[in-house]
Amino acid sequence: MNIKTLSFLVVLLMTSSLFAQSSLNNYKYIIIPKQYDFLREADKFQLNSLTEFLFNKYGFKAYMEEGNYPDDLKANRCLALTSNLIKDSSMFKTRLMIELKNCNGLTVYTTQAGESREKDFKTAYSEALRNAFKELQNINYKYVPAEQVSENIINKEPNNQADVSKEIAQLKAEIENLKQEKETPVVIAEESKVTEAVIEVSKTVSASQNTSDVLYAQAIENGFQLVDSSPKVVYKIKNTSMENMFLVEGRNATLYKKGDHWIMEYYENNVLKQDVLNIKF
């Protein structure tokens, strides 16, 4: 292997490591399932408990599924990744890979397989899992909120910051015009390419302007149902421990008040989107 090839492989490995670290750093919690698909019992061989222990040992904040979650996780499950184990064993080897998925079921990170040649199942699974965790041990995880990442990027690019501010001002002006003209709801996408790595900030705002688009809140148990003028139930929202923040029933979405507007926030195709709802309480 010549020097150029070796250098390329080193750079590639470093880039992959940095990308993985950046992806995981945007998530605050890890949720551990009570039972893995390839085992017949909950916490068989204490494998789920060991997974929770090792995540916490290496700097993550891990919680068992349906456990006592922190308030911000109760309000927004998208702060967490869900852990899963993928079994890829052969006759003589037990191999386990750790897979992490976001709240939309998209895989964010998968480790290399940890291996064991032990014959006893409990010992083999434990050793294979610990070997898979060596990869996560070395990425130096540290939680960084997605909003803070965006702010840091914009602060490093003052010219782009001005462009983004200008686009946002134009966006607000167009929404106000739509309100006055009572036009059909439109979707406005904002994209800003910041660095050579192409970091996209994409926000989708839906403007519901006609009186027929007004949703009326009717109190139900643990929240409200939002109905249109039909009347037809469009959404059901559940109370959270935070003021003016609700969980949208049947969707991986949150509803919260920002200024005079109600914003429904959710992920679609791995892109964070925000819909403006006209709600009358």
Q: Tens of pLDDT along 142-170?
A: 898 866 544 444 454 445 556 656 666 77
Q: What is the pLDDT of residues 54-103, one digit of tens each?
A: 999 999 999 999 888 999 999 999 999 999 999 988 888 999 999 999 99
pLDDT band at 6 (very low <50, low <70, confident <90, very high): very low
Q: Is the pLDDT of residue 31 over 90?
A: yes
Q: Which residues contact 104 (CB under 8 A, 6 or more apart)?
A: 78, 252, 267, 270
Judgement on whether residues 86 and 166 belong to the same structural domain of the protein: no
Judgement on whether residues 170 and 96 belong to the same structural domain of the protein: no
Predicted pLDDT at 139? 84
Q: pTM score, two decimals? A: 0.48
CATH of residue 23: 3.40.50
Judgement on whether residues 217 and 111 belong to the same structural domain of the protein: no
The whole-angstrom separation of Cα 89 and Cα 111 is 15
Predicted pLDDT at 12? 40
The whole-angstrom separation of Cα 16 and Cα 94 is 26
Q: Is the pLDDT of residue 15 over 60?
A: no
Q: Specify the number of domains making up the chain.
A: 2
Judgement on whether residues 78 and 173 belong to the same structural domain of the protein: no
For the chain, the residue count is: 281
Judgement on whether residues 209 and 98 belong to the same structural domain of the protein: no
Judgement on whether residues 172 and 212 belong to the same structural domain of the protein: yes
Judgement on whether residues 131 and 57 belong to the same structural domain of the protein: yes
Judgement on whether residues 273 and 164 belong to the same structural domain of the protein: yes
Peptide linkage before 231 cis (omega within 30 of 0): yes
Judgement on whether residues 151 and 130 belong to the same structural domain of the protein: no
Judgement on whether residues 151 and 42 belong to the same structural domain of the protein: no
Phi, psi torsion values for 122, nearest 5 degrees: -60, -45
123: containing domain: 3-137
Q: What is the pLDDT of residues 184-231, one digit of tens each?
A: 444 444 444 444 433 443 344 443 344 447 888 888 888 989 888 777
Judgement on whether residues 57 and 96 belong to the same structural domain of the protein: yes
Judgement on whether residues 195 and 87 belong to the same structural domain of the protein: no
